[in-house]
Chain A
Amino acid sequence: MWYFAWILGVLLACSFGIINAMWLDAEEEQRADD
């Protein structure tokens, strides 16, 4: 079922994008605290 693969894939790609941005911001905040 490729439709099913799409649901998983798009969720993965979106969370990947969200995590990458939050990671960048978290690191920046840490650097600001140091």
Chain B
Amino acid sequence: MISESVVELSRWQFAITAMYHFLFVPLTLGLSFLLAIMESVYVMTGKQIYRDMTKFWGKLFGINFALGVTTGLTMEFQFGTNWAYYSHYVGDVFGAPLAIEGLVAFFLESTMIGLFFFGWDRLSKVQHLAVTWLVALGSNFSALWILIANGWMQNPVGAYFNFETMRMEMDSFTEVLLNPVAQVKFVHTVSAGYVTGAIFVLAVSSYFMLRNRDIPFARRSFAIASAFGLASAISVIVLGDESGYEVGEVQKVKLAAIEAEWETHPAPAAFTVVGLPNEETMTTDYALKIPGALGLIATRSLDEEVTGIKDLVAHAEDRIRNGIVAYGLLEKLRNGEDTPENRAAFSEVSVDLGYGLLLKRYTEEVVDATEEQIKLAARDTIPKVAPMFWTFRVMVGAGFTMLLLFVLAFVFTAKRKVVQTRWLQWFALLSLPLPWIASEMGWFVAEFGRQPWAIGEILPTYVATSHLTETDLWMSLAGFIGLYTLFLVIEIYLMVKYIRKGPSALQTGRYHFEQNTATQGA
């Protein structure tokens, strides 16, 4: 029997290390393109200030990137160290995009980043510009392959269960690649990264303007970020996640939980703006609803239903019963009764094998599961509604606030009134935490919403862990938290230090702190 606390602790460790990694990734994704934009303007106009901008924002990029790399190492190791059964069960499909990410994207990004920092005097203008664009492309391709892997966890297409090897095996790489969930997730996630980069540049530029320092530097940075950010924010919201909820059972469950849709209502369903979801009574108290809106958003039609939680649970129950049959046949096949009849019968029900495995949490003897255990397992297929409901709303709220900021920033830039408009600068500066809040909430909705599955409808999280002890987990968790806290403090300290210095940190003699005193220490 697997220990419940080992599963819990493994989940905490993964959640903490992944969310921590995701503090740095979005900024890399967005800032890399902003650097490429700045340097392109430099190469096209020959104006020194754009070279300085690329270098200064590049310094901040480097401080952030170092931790992105560090925490990314954990992600590469952790599937094996803590999710060994997962690694065996789906490595045939899930490992491929990870390995391709290294070969196709991460090599490119990492090699070019060294040339970006150290190649200013060794490369021609155009060569260096190409390097900067390749850094941006490399980091975005990285995101692409990682999200293909993650998209497959949400909606596992192009694979089948092979009882001889006791694992999932790929039967169509194209399907894995073109997985609709992966596609939507990729566009949504990288756009969120662009928004993060743009908000970062807007906020820091606003800080310079509020301090009346390096105005030409700040307003140009502000102009670039406002335009790039506006275009990206529109795409995050328009190309948002929602169309991904049409495919796969897990995505349907996620949608129902986000919207606290307990019942299946006649189409088109109403959208609950706010309310208090109640798990006990399976109702949402004090709900404020907009008639018809959810049906319209989720199904893009007026006559399709959005399935409610109660119906989804009933449906899961049916599939668990099927899963029990599949599990029984699997045991027979693996214990010497490998007959054509058993194979045929198994292939009929093997899609529900994962549902049978959900019972592992309650009994070792899946085939002898009681009615009550089946009911419990079926109820497990719905993630807790309240956290989903609220994190989603915080994410959307942050998203629309940022969109408003970009619209204002763009309009005021066009009217050439940014420098005089203090309240806008304050708005931008205070918005600095928003993209991180939104990204982390979005991550939570996607991954907590996937529970109880590690791989949607295939492999329950409960059975996916390594064979470790509680002590192992407590100690490694403490190690991660300790080191990560230390690094975060150092990173923020250096960020603040360099932001305060501003472009004077480049020691070119052209910026604020170098105007009065001729020399300043490094």
Q: Is A32 positioned at the interface, with any CB of B under 8 Å from its CB?
A: no
**Nearest 4 CB-CB pairs, A to B?**
A2-B183, A20-B227, A13-B231, A17-B228
Q: B223 contacts which of A1, A12, A14, A20 (Cβ < 8 Å)?
A: A20
Do A24 and B231 touch (CB < 8 A)?
A: no
Do B219 and A2 touch (CB < 8 A)?
A: no
B28-43 at interface with A (beta carbon < 8 Å): 33-34, 36-38, 40-41
Do A22 and B41 touch (CB < 8 A)?
A: yes
Do A24 and B223 touch (CB < 8 A)?
A: yes
A1-34 at interface with B (beta carbon < 8 Å): 1-3, 5-6, 9-10, 12-14, 16-22, 24-25, 27
Do B184 and A18 touch (CB < 8 A)?
A: no
- Residues of B bordering A, CB below 8 Å: 33-34, 36-38, 40-41, 44-45, 47, 50, 140, 144, 180, 183-184, 186-187, 190-191, 194, 219-220, 223-228, 230-232, 235, 239, 410, 413, 416
Do A2 and B239 touch (CB < 8 A)?
A: yes
Q: Given A5-B187, A14-B33, A25–B235 Cβ distance below 8 Å? A: no
Do B223 and A2 touch (CB < 8 A)?
A: no
Tell me which residues across on chain B come within 8 A of A6, comparing CB atoms.
186-187, 190
Which applies to chain A's interface (DSSP): helix, strand, loop or mixed?
helix
CA distance A14 to B36 in the complex (A): 8
CA distance A19 to B45 in the complex (A): 12
Most buried by B among A3, A5, A24: A24
Q: Given A9-B191, A13-B231, A14-B228, A2–B186 Cβ distance below 8 Å? A: yes
Do A9 and B184 touch (CB < 8 A)?
A: no
Q: A21 contacts which of B33, B140, B223 (Cβ < 8 Å)?
A: B223
CA distance A14 to B314 in the complex (A): 48
Tell me which residues across on chain A come within 8 A of B45, comparing CB atoms.
22, 25
Q: A13-B232, A16-B227, A18-B40 are in contact. List 11 more A-B contacts (CB 8 A).
A: A6-B186, A9-B187, A10-B194, A13-B231, A16-B231, A20-B226, A20-B413, A21-B41, A22-B44, A24-B413, A25-B41
CA distance A30 to B464 in the complex (A): 65
CA distance A21 to B315 in the complex (A): 55
CA distance A17 to B230 in the complex (A): 9
Do A17 and B34 touch (CB < 8 A)?
A: yes
Do A13 and B184 touch (CB < 8 A)?
A: no
CA distance A32 to B223 in the complex (A): 19
Shortest CB–CB separation between residue A16 and chain B, in angstroms? 4
Tell me which residues across on chain A come within 8 A of B224, comparing CB atoms.
17-18, 20-21
Shortest CB–CB separation between residue B267 and chain A, in angstroms? 26
Shortest CB–CB separation between residue A34 and chain B, in angstroms? 15
Q: B183 contacts which of A3, A12, A17 (Cβ < 8 Å)?
A: A3
Closest residue on chain B to residue A1 by CB atoms: B183
Q: Given A5-B239, A18-B40, A24–B232 Cβ distance below 8 Å? A: no
Tell me which residues across on chain A come within 8 A of B140, comparing CB atoms.
10
Shortest CB–CB separation between residue A9 and chain B, in angstroms? 5
Closest residue on chain B to residue A2 by CB atoms: B183
Most buried by A among B45, B47, B50, B224: B224
CA distance A3 to B144 in the complex (A): 9
Tell me which residues across on chain B come within 8 A of A10, comparing CB atoms.
33, 140, 190, 194
CA distance A5 to B44 in the complex (A): 27
CA distance A14 to B226 in the complex (A): 11
Tell me which residues across on chain A come within 8 A of B33, comparing CB atoms.
10, 13-14
CA distance A25 to B219 in the complex (A): 11
CA distance A2 to B368 in the complex (A): 45
Q: Given A17-B224, A20-B224, A9–B239 Cβ distance below 8 Å? A: yes
Q: Given A18-B37, A18-B40, A21-B220, A12–B231 Cβ distance below 8 Å? A: yes
CA distance A19 to B416 in the complex (A): 15
Q: Given A9-B235, A21-B37, A24-B220, A2–B228 Cβ distance below 8 Å? A: no
Shortest CB–CB separation between residue B73 and chain A, in angstroms? 27
Closest residue on chain B to residue A19 by CB atoms: B227
Shortest CB–CB separation between residue B193 and chain A, in angstroms? 11
CA distance A14 to B37 in the complex (A): 6
Q: A17 contacts which of B47, B144, B227 (Cβ < 8 Å)?
A: B227
Shortest CB–CB separation between residue B419 and chain A, in angstroms? 12
Do B228 and A24 touch (CB < 8 A)?
A: no
CA distance A13 to B136 in the complex (A): 13
Complex A-B: 12 CB contacts under 8 Å: A2-B239, A9-B232, A13-B231, A14-B36, A14-B37, A17-B34, A17-B37, A17-B228, A21-B37, A21-B224, A22-B41, A22-B44
CA distance A9 to B239 in the complex (A): 10
Closest residue on chain A to residue B180 by CB atoms: A2
